[in-house]
A and B are shown apart, each in its own frame.
Chain A
Amino acid sequence: MAGTPRRMRPLRNIYAKIAAIPMVLTALVVFVGGTLWTVTYSFTNSKLLPKLNFVGLDQYERLWSNSLWLTSIQNLMIFGILSAVLTITMGFLLAVLMDQKIRFEDTFRTIMLYPFALSFVVTGLVWQWLLNPDLGIQEFVRGLGFATFEFDPLSNPDTVLYGLLIAGLWQGTGFVMCIMLAGLRGIDEDIWKAVRVDGIPRWKTYIFVVIPMMRPVFITTLVLVASGIIRLYDLVVAQTSGGPGNASQVPAMYVYRYMFTAQNLGQGFAASTMMLLSVLIVLIPWAYLEFGGKKNG
């Protein structure tokens, strides 16, 4: 540990302390302060302007009896589970394919990863256009002679989430693939020599040797994907605006809608506090697994 003070003196490392002021302020004022502020005001009946008029758990009671919120949660669960499972499975499979000493690896990777450089707004608009029933894929296939072909996920409340999923996967799998590939490349080459000597088939090696070894990578990816999903906002706004009806509403939209459109800040804060809670549910077990045994740093 270079620079670790041997004796505690307040003036020691004074420049380092001054230099760290932005970080300390961000951590304390914005992240801790902002969170506490929002949580506190979630117990008030603030309307358009925040007011400290406490009403106990009223906002939370109303939140959990509001069918729009319940729909949002349900949508997020369906989208989240499918999206997490599919991005990770596809990302891993693609990484395995990419790890077969293939030619043009850079080209393939470039192709798979470029959507990640685009914003969700761009992604949402492109897929809205591709899934447009009158002009997009449906019309194209019909033009090929399949007159009854139906592929119109965005206008049907039952399928709109899958429409979002197609766009979400398009944007995100390349990224997961890259992390997985880094994980695969991180595995000791001796393992491959050993299994080759033992004559174990390749697929078995992946399932029984590689995947268990990559457990931390999978967990990290899951945490990353999950925290991204909880925040899901831009994509939905650009692709469906939460429609048709409320069929693709998500919690982040609910927060925004109640904070600003309905002029009910208290309700919006209560909803965002629930979002924070769900992040903690994902994060704390992970932090425990990750940092639990060993010392941080």
Chain B
Amino acid sequence: MADITSQIPASARTGATAIGSGPRGPKPRRRLSPGNIMLYGTLFVVSVYYLLPLWVMVMTSLKGMPEIRMGNIFAPPVEVTFQPWVKAWSEACTGLNCDGLSRGFWNSVKILIPSVFFSIIIASINGYALVNWRFKGSDVFFTILIFGSFIPYQIMLYPIVILLREMGIYGTLWGLVLVHTIFGMPILTLLFRNYFSSLPEELFKAARVDGAGFWGIYFRIMLPMSLPIFVVAIILQVTGIWNDFLFGVVYTKPELYPMTVQLNNIVNSVQGVKEYNVNMAATLLTGLVPLIVYFASGKLFVRGIAAGAVKG
């Protein structure tokens, strides 16, 4: 294990990629060798498998219903229409509410921003305290936290209903923010703990000698030095919280439903025939935010999941 865990924070510190210093396999041979054809051929076929659903989603969302019934799903639209997108965004109905996914989108944004903010702040302080200010029992709590990340959510579903009720925030935005903060804590704490423990200890000691306290060191030394890991954490949380379905469905009410829940609602409220083009447009719209984050962040995303995963 040590080979990877030690490597990830190190590369994070230097700003290099989590994948390390490039391929380590044997040297490639001639460019058009049979081996290379096999290699690239396989990768090409695999890429098709991965890309096909996206292609189908985009194409279907641009077709009208008659064309969907007639033509094949892989063909590009003969007649491009953006009507399904408009409908999915602002007209699709659940019951009497015909404002499409737009409401869910804004709800998700409202849930996302405080959840990401609080979960990351708290987890980074946890990681910092765990590495630099260890106190009696701190490792025990950390171990519980890590074990906690493996507990099936179902087992804590109901106790949290009670917890939120007692706090008087059940069904509110803040209730859901709290739930996301709690369930984001294990993986993020681990991420920050691993990162902070890779920073040179001398920095911390020098600051202590200068008389800096807990918060002083955190804000003036740790925070500025750990921007890359904050970006990784933000990526992890934005995609994770945006994609959440279970918590959104259990701990909120219809007017606060996040986009994933509304997507499921819209797709399942069939009025007459299923409008696959609208469903696909709605699906794409819901996936858009994590996809943009993913494509924009590139290697940082990879580092995030690799770093989070390796020990989590």
Direct A–B contact in complex, judged by CB atoms less than 8 Å apart: yes
Query: Do residues A178 and B290 form an inter-chain contact, with CB atoms below 8 A?
Result: no
Q: Which A residues are CB-close (under 8 A) to B47?
A: 108, 111-112
Q: Which B residues are CB-close (under 8 A) to A1?
A: 134
B37 in the interface, Cβ–Cβ < 8 Å? no
Query: Do residues A187 and B24 form an inter-chain contact, with CB atoms below 8 A?
Result: yes
Query: Do residues B144 and A185 form an inter-chain contact, with CB atoms below 8 A?
Result: no
CA distance A202 to B8 in the complex (A): 27
Contact of B305 among A12, A116, A283 (CB under 8 A): A116
Contact of A26 among B129, B185, B293, B302 (CB under 8 A): B185
Query: Do residues B158 and A38 form an inter-chain contact, with CB atoms below 8 A?
Result: yes
Question: Which stretch in A58-66, A131-139, A148-156, A157-165 binds the other chain?
Answer: A131-139
Q: Which B residues are CB-close (under 8 A) to A20?
A: 125-126, 129-130, 135, 138, 141
Contact of A120 among B27, B39, B128, B245 (CB under 8 A): B245
Q: Which A residues are CB-close (under 8 A) to B129?
A: 16, 19-20, 23
Q: Which A residues are CB-close (under 8 A) to B133?
A: 3, 13, 15-16
B268 to chain A, nearest CB (A): 9
Interface size on B, residues (CB 8 A): 112
Contact of B122 among A22, A178, A230 (CB under 8 A): A22
Known: A19-B125, A29-B163, A217-B4. A118 touches B135 (CB 8 A): no
**Chain B residue at smallest Cβ distance from A254:** B154
Known: A27-B148, A31-B145, A122-B263. A99 touches B23 (CB 8 A): yes
Contact of B152 among A29, A202, A252 (CB under 8 A): A252
Q: Which B residues are CB-close (under 8 A) to A233?
A: 154, 246
CA distance A237 to B159 in the complex (A): 23
A240 in the interface, Cβ–Cβ < 8 Å? no
CA distance A99 to B3 in the complex (A): 17
A2 in the interface, Cβ–Cβ < 8 Å? yes
Q: Which A residues are CB-close (under 8 A) to B174?
A: none
Query: Do residues A38 and B155 form an inter-chain contact, with CB atoms below 8 A?
Result: yes
Which DSSP category, helix, strand, loop or mixed, fits chain B's interface? helix
Q: Which B residues are CB-close (under 8 A) to A50?
A: 158, 162
Question: Which stretch in B48-56, B81-89, B92-100, B220-228 binds the other chain?
Answer: B48-56
Query: Do residues B147 and A283 form an inter-chain contact, with CB atoms below 8 A?
Result: yes
B297 to chain A, nearest CB (A): 9
Q: Which B residues are CB-close (under 8 A) to A255?
A: 152, 154, 157
Q: Which A residues are CB-close (under 8 A) to B158?
A: 37-38, 41, 50, 259, 265, 268-269
Contact of B134 among A4, A8, A116 (CB under 8 A): A4
B271 in the interface, Cβ–Cβ < 8 Å? no
Question: Interface digits, B238-272 against A, CB 8 Å rule (1 contact, 0 not)?
Answer: 01001111100000000000001001100100000
CA distance A55 to B264 in the complex (A): 38
Question: Interface digits, A260-278 against B, CB 8 Å rule (1 contact, 0 not)?
Answer: 0000010011011101100
Q: Could you list 26 A-B pairs, sorted by A, with CB under 8 Å?
A: A3-B208, A8-B136, A15-B215, A27-B148, A30-B148, A30-B182, A31-B151, A38-B155, A41-B158, A96-B25, A98-B23, A100-B26, A102-B28, A108-B47, A112-B47, A115-B50, A119-B244, A170-B53, A182-B19, A182-B310, A186-B4, A186-B20, A227-B150, A231-B154, A233-B246, A296-B143
8 nearest interchain CB pairs?
A119-B243, A16-B133, A31-B148, A15-B214, A34-B159, A185-B20, A117-B294, A27-B144
A interface vs B, CB < 8 Å? Answer: 1-5, 8, 12-13, 15-17, 19-20, 22-24, 26-35, 37-38, 41, 50, 94, 96-102, 105-106, 108-122, 125-127, 129-130, 135-137, 139-140, 143, 170, 174-175, 178-179, 181-187, 189, 192, 196, 202, 216-217, 220-221, 224, 227, 230-231, 233-234, 237-238, 252, 255-256, 259, 265, 268-269, 271-273, 275-276, 279, 282-283, 287, 290, 296-297
Q: 11 new A-B pairs (CB below 8 Å) besides A99-B24, A125-B267?
A: A23-B142, A30-B148, A119-B243, A129-B279, A135-B73, A178-B305, A216-B1, A216-B4, A217-B1, A220-B311, A272-B155
